[in-house]
Amino acid sequence: MSLSTFEGKSVLVVGGGTRDGIGFATAQMLAEQGARIALADLDGERVRELVADLPGGERHSAHALDVTDEAAIAHVVEAVVQNHGALDGLVVAAGLYSPESFTTTSRATWDRMFAVNATGAFLVSQTVAKHMLERGRGRIVLVASIGARQPQLTAAAYGASKAAVIQLGRYMALELARKNITVNIVCPGSTATSMMGTDPVRHEIAINGNLAQWRLGIPLGRMAQAADQAAAITFLLGETGRHITGQVVTVDGGQSFL
């Protein structure tokens, strides 16, 4: 494989079922560089529609997947390996968000955040890593959030679950390094996706800051696009990122810098 393409490589992108999301933007970027994409998300019909829009659609596959269902994960990974021949890369971008404060967060919300964001990342990564261990190589990127590193006055369960993803990824990186498997974590800042919403007031607050929420603004003066996050993920999955592992890469326009 050349340093600039993914020709002949297969990548499973979990959490790619939203057109404006980070997962699908990553799938698009990888597909443009020749990768075979296995796109997975909870809504199988939507995933099939999105896969049809990827460059080289005939070489890709779509999969309905609940990341909290261990048996379903095993079935999807087996199907991907059979269909694509191998798995060279994994992106875990599946996630739920809740804006509730710590004192208003219900036990049900807390459990759901951790089940999808943290346990889901663990189950998918573990299943794929076992396949990669057999091959002696692979690249894994977990998507966390600056909310895991920079607290504010809302989204306690979300931030805590994403913090767990960061530490999970670092443990994975240490354990898998000797088998030529890299593991890195990307922490997006405020990004213009469905999760962030389209309210211009909310975008302005993200850019300029909001002292009421103990949240600083974005020094670069603009929201990130999903493609900005995809670029970092793609770099870490490619040969140019082959000597990077166990790192937390923050893509936030300086939002957590100050």
Close Cβ partners of 57 (under 8 Å, ≥ 6 residues apart)? 51
DSSP string, 169-180: HHHHHHHHGGGT
Sheet containing 248-251, strands listed edge to edge, beginning at the edge strand earlier in sequence = 61-64, 36-41, 10-14, 89-92, 138-143, 181-188, 248-251
SS3 249: strand
Measured at the CA of 94, the angle between CA 91 and CA 102, to 5 degrees, comes to 130
Closest CA to 248 of 170, 161, 139: 170
Number of neighbours of residue 221 by Cβ within 10 angstroms? 10
158 in active site: yes
Of 29, 81, 158, 184, catalytic:
158
Give the integer Cα–Cα distance in Å for 10 and 184: 18
Pairing between β-strand 89-92 and β-strand 138-143 as defined by DSSP bridges: parallel
Q: How many helices (H) and strands (E) does the chain have?
A: 8, 7
Q: Are 74 and 47 in contact (CB under 8 A)?
A: no
List the catalytic residues: 158
